[in-house]
Structure 1
């Protein structure tokens, strides 16, 4: 019986799912994702598609998972065990396990592009709180670098040691809008109807932050973006927004 095309004995893909803990120094080319929950593995396969492999030698310790994937293609495993549409909660559970790509800093500097005000539905470019963005892979997976300056939000006082949640909420909203519109190749208004956030660490005002986003949606329907905010490669918060794309704000007001 042949092995699945996404089961590998090395670390040469962009990401590699490992079922047992390893020293990250074992891999210089692949971002290691440590998972042994089969449901979460299926979610990561849906998100990263051909950019992720499973480290084959680990399967000797996980016979039930091995039985489900050996001899099947990536698509066959998804179709058999997780045919339903991926949800925001599914992605929320794994986004920080996926983490930032190994080459995110180089790609932001070399391949990142600036965000036009139209993508975040602003009248002034100064109110765009995103410096640059690049697409991580063929899937709807992006990395942004943010700044904390905007004329739109006036605070009673500014904390010297951390960025206020009001500022972070607007940064995440802008990332969600840009990510969904880029992935769906649309410029419609994305109205967030439901949100969830989990704060883990303060964001220091004196250092920039990186936002990872993963989006799924339909051009004429509902969609969602899950985001994770990192500083110095440490998770500070993660969350998601689900909502609906509208042609313009007037259409939304008619509801």
Structure 2
């Protein structure tokens, strides 16, 4: 049991959001990998409507490089995997190899730590894998923002509480370039990516009513694009 605990502790660190954040080591017997952020509990989630999580509850998950199943949940707002260990919740999985694949048990999709391109900028973060074949991979990037509370500006208005607002997800694919890039959000963007396939793309959109906000449609579109390359 002691060996198992030390193994799990050895793969955990807390990611500090700013250089000024103070980090406290709280497990002297571990290899120095378990940390706590003293600012973690300053955000009172009970006073904020909505949720920053993919799933509110912690679930058992298999993690690459970790021999034991552990309880996790994905914090969309901060793009971190929170870990619950011995009833302690304010710890995160290290964003590093080999902890690249998180498979929440009982859930349809894996969470993967990947490098992907958005607006010509490389990002290292988590994506939800919604399709994987030998030829193509498709991912979903869930998004949420924190909207601060607003005071009433007149007697005719009601104050609004702070709330987490779910935004439309983004979708990414990995085609033949071995690079994960943002899927355009409209037909025009697809045509710009594949100008030599204009006729085939136009025929596809004539035969299919593609909703770029619908995950099944995105998968169908990705499979089509892969087929014409």
Q: TM-score w.r.t. structure 2 length?
A: 0.25
The structure with the largest helix share of the pair is: 1
Q: Which has the higher contact order (CA 8 A, sep 6+)?
A: 1
Kindly name which structure, 1 or 2, has the bigger radius of gyration based on alpha carbons.
Answer: 2
Task: Judging by fraction of residues, say which structure has more strand.
Answer: 2
Q: Tell me the TM-score normalized by structure 1.
A: 0.23
